[in-house]
Chain A
Amino acid sequence: MNPNAARVTTLGLRPDAKIRECLPTGIASLDAMVEGFPRGAISEILGPESSGRTTLVHSLLAASTGRLEICAYVDTDDSFDPVTAAAAGVALSQLVWIRCGHNAGHALKAADYLLHAGGFGVIVLDLCQVPPRISNRIPISYWYRFRLAIENTPTILALAEKEPIAKSCASLMLDLQRKKTVWTGAPGFSLLREMEFEAASRKPVRPATAVFKARALA
């Protein structure tokens, strides 16, 4: 009798693997690629400046508040712009904004309190402007603790950053980059009209990429 028979019958899934509900972002190409952001798990949104990380975060928040959920934005470097968030469809009356004044330690503590309070749809931990030399010093135990706190809840913890931090604790890792910028008008009278971003899924690995556009309001 094959001792691994039980594993074979799981059709390739690990016995402890969970099928998680996902929250679609409203970006069709991205949702087709990864089905949305998994609930009860950590997701990482990576990329350099102007790569579309914040645009994707706003779409995620808009999708969550559109489902009447309460969300939280832990803003490490005080960079959140409510005007463009509202224009992206985020219901600001359902969003708790925490300004951490360039202190990553405060941001982690605030995120910890929020995760343990429970009941949130999406909690965004914005570490986009935290230099990697600081973000790499965050102990991995934080991410294990966060993962455990939301494991059996519908909460999504979305980390926006330059480089991967949560690594093995993250269930979804999206790598973003800017593909194209569209300027309209004659030289000297041009207007920033559209930005096109490309998202690749590092985890789970997907061969195809998703391209999405963000069009400036006229």
Chain B
Amino acid sequence: MMFACIHGPSANLLQTAAAFSPSFEQTAPDTVLFRVDGLQRLHGSPRQIAEAIARHAGDKINVAIAETADAAILAARNFPGITVAPSLTGLDVATLPLTAEMAQVFESWGIYTLDQLAQLPETGLAERFGPHGVYLQQLARGAIHRPLKIFQPETTYEDRIELDHPVSLLEPLLFLIARLLNDQCERLLSNAMAANEVTIHLELENRTGHTRTLRLPVPMRESKSLLKLLQMDLEAHPPTAPTLAISLQLKPVHPRTVQTGIFLPITPAPDKLELTLARIRGIVGENNVGLPELLNTHHPHPFRLANAQPKIANPQPPIPNPAFRHYRPALPATVDLDRNRPIRITAPGIHGKVLNAAGPWRTSGDWWTTSVWNRDEWDIALTNGSLYRIYLDSQRRDPNWFIEGSYD
């Protein structure tokens, strides 16, 4: 193998490397390394190859060709002009990546050149400096054979279109957004990435902006799905004026990897489920769809709806437990009492004598916030054949009795 290294202050080092090899390593801002195997038929001997590289790179550039990548780097950094198959034996050990402590020890040992370092016993060096000492000796011997760390230009996922004429309808706007999305999703695919956030910014004719951000619970890279989500979001939140320019930005993340199994049940495809839930959110409202999550509180409604994808939990056996149904909002009721116990209930659609009552169960909390609750709960059986939970809300004035729901 043959490696070429170019080192110098030139701004076009990457272009020079790209002119000779499709893949190269940017070791440092002023050092670029690439392989030159196979260029003999085009340029001739290694020296002729080095001369061709130097001609392309311009003045004040060091070019070195060596059998190993690190030898080429050392030579390019320490020998001016063109160097082919260099002898590194006479180089100062300070050219290696030494720590301050190592430099001091080498000086006390009288080790000044790579040749002297290469002749030290490897075991003793490992005992004194550990793996880094052995690595430095291998460098000095030119014995490290490693592949190139290929330079990858940073991919951006942000595009902008300026329109000749303002667009007021959603359909032509979506046509343009689809173009941007297709390009960006191609980029995601080629870099094995997905997006978990899509931001669209519309510059409007009235000199204002309209920005919408979709945070996706699962990383996606299918342009059709993303376009549909954007369409539904823009239908729900349309811009206030015709659009003059569109900017689209995706936030790249690694795609979700899922271990599948032949005996696992079929579950909804994540992107299809997200689309379905977005459609349903368009009907019932954004905050009315999600996964219920229990909160660590004694509040009467200890849950919240999370906007997330379903996640498989540890299976639990079914436990027959009386289910409760809420009336949301709770039904205001008129309650007749006898010795502080409910004996008759009247509420919209519900009335009857109390056959049995258990309570009161007093609960209160959050008195340090505005959402304070303080109530006495009763479980009651009515003559209409149903079982209800009613409560007296001590925080409210009349009506302060409510039917919270029924046991079903």
Contact = CB atoms under 8 A, between A and B. Distances in A.
Contact of A110 (B280, B321, B406, B407): B280
A204 interface: no
Nearest to B292: A82
Contacts of B269: 119
Given A68-B265, A68-B315, A88 B321 contact: yes
A84 B200 CA distance: 42
A183 B327 contact: no
A4 B206 CA distance: 78
Given A63-B318, A81-B323, A117 B272 contact: yes
A82 B277 CA distance: 19
Contacts of A84: 321-324
A84 B290 CA distance: 18
A106 interface: yes
Interface stretch (B134-142, B220-228, B281-289): B281-289
A149 interface: no
B1 interface: no
Given A26-B318, A93-B311, A113-B279, A50 B385 contact: yes
Interface string A37-70: 0000000000011111111011100110111111
Contacts of A114: 276, 280
A214 interface: yes
A89 B312 contact: no
A27 B118 CA distance: 78
Nearest to B287: A99
Given A89-B316, A92-B292, A49 B328 contact: no
Report the interface size class on chain B.
Answer: 35 or more
A190 interface: yes
A81 to B, nearest CB: 4
A216 B321 contact: yes
Contacts of A89: 316-319
Given A50-B406, A119-B273, A101 B303 contact: no
Nearest to A49: B386
Given A59-B318, A91-B313, A99-B284, A78 B323 contact: no
B159 to A, nearest CB: 31
B357 interface: yes
Given A55-B408, A110-B283, A190-B357, A79 B320 contact: no
A30 B327 CA distance: 28
B293 to A, nearest CB: 7
Interface of B: 264-269, 272-273, 275-277, 279-280, 283-285, 288-294, 302-303, 305, 310-328, 341, 356-358, 379, 381, 385-387, 405-408
Given A54-B325, A118-B266, 7 more contacts: A49-B406, A81-B325, A93-B312, A183-B358, A191-B358, A192-B387, A215-B321
